């Protein structure tokens, strides 16, 4: 699975936990090859991170990526279906970049389907799990196609979660929004809406994007 620009942006936008995440637990649902887990580990070097991935090949690659990183002692890769996973406790941060394309064209590659479609996991299944596993002061963060933003906002209310912040992402100033990054919590409060543009009209990365990704990219 390739690394996507929007996935990297999502990882960079994760909120650092206090004191480097000491004593805190983070869950990455659908970890893929472990990109988001490793970015979360860089932001929170003392947190315990569980990278949950159903597809064996991706889980193996995530384990190899973790083992070759400075954060190998803090990232545990679990190859399991999230629907049967039983966590030992609650999490202070839950990250999810779920299958995107419900009811759209399905690839003949079964493993690719698991990674990119909702044949094995529905968005409506993610919210109850996040709500039950999240600490009272914790955050559940979600990356979705922009057209599913309204659906996610409806589902969060059904589970007693509140959207605290929404970042709408476009490729360039000339494009429409194509991704939404959503931040949910159990406590109601101020709701923020922000916008992010990845590239300028000359195709160079925007200053905002560069500032966010600079700590994670060798060359940007």
Q: What is the CATH number of the domain that holds 123?
A: 3.40.50.150
Report the chain's mean pLDDT, rounded to a whole number: 89
**Any domain includes 48:** yes
pLDDT at 27: 98
Q: Which helix (H) or strand (E) holds 167?
A: strand 162-170
- Cα–Cα distances (Å) from 28 to 171, 191, 196, 214, in that order, read 25, 24, 23, 22
Residue 106 belongs to a domain: yes
| pTM, full prediction | 0.89
What pLDDT score does 180 carry? Answer: 97
Asked whether residue 218 is domain-assigned, the answer is: no
pLDDT of residue 100: 58
Largest CA distance in the chain: 49
Within a domain: 219: no
Number of domains in the chain: 1
Q: Are 190 and 164 in contact (CB under 8 A)?
A: yes
pLDDT of residue 120: 58
- pLDDT for the residue 2: 61
Considering the domain boundaries, does residue 220 fall inside one?
no
The reported pLDDT for the residue numbered 82 is: 94
Does residue 31 fall inside a structural domain?
Answer: yes
| Structure confidence at residue 220 (pLDDT) | 67
CB 78 within 8 A of CB 52: yes
Residue 28, Cβ neighbours under 10 Å: how many?
31
| Cα–Cα distance measured from residue 172 to residue 175, given in angstroms and rounded to the nearest whole number | 5
For residue 148, being part of any structural domain is answered with yes
Ranges in the chain, pLDDT < 70: 1-2, 99-120, 218, 220
Structural domain harbouring 53: 5-213
Structure tokens at 195: 């916008």
């Amino acid at each position: 699975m390739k690394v996507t620009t929007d996935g990297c942006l999502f990882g960079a936008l994760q909120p650092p936990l206090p004191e480097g995440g000491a004593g805190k637990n983070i869950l990455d649902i659908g970890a893929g090859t472990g990109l988001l887990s490793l970015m979360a580990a860089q932001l929170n070097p003392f947190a315990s991170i569980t990278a949950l991935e159903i597809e064996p090949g991706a889980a193996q690659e995530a384990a190899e990526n973790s083992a070759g990183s400075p954060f190998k002692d803090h990232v545990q890769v679990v190859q399991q279906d999230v629907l049967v996973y039983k966590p030992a406790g609650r999490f202070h941060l839950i990250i999810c970049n779920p299958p995107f394309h419900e009811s759209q064209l399905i690839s003949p590659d079964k493993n690719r389907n698991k990674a990119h479609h909702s044949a094995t996991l529905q968005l409506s299944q993610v919210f109850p799990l996040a709500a039950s596993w999240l600490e009272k002061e914790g955050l559940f963060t979600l990356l979705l196609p922009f057209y599913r933003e309204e659906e996610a906002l409806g589902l969060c209310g059904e589970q007693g979660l509140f959207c605290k912040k929404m970042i709408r992402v476009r490729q360039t100033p000339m494009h429409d929004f194509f991704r939404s990054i959503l931040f949910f919590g159990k406590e109601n409060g101020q709701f923020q809406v922000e916008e992010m543009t990845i590239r300028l009209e000359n195709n160079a990365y925007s200053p905002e994007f560069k500032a966010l990704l600079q700590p994670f990219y060798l060359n940007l």
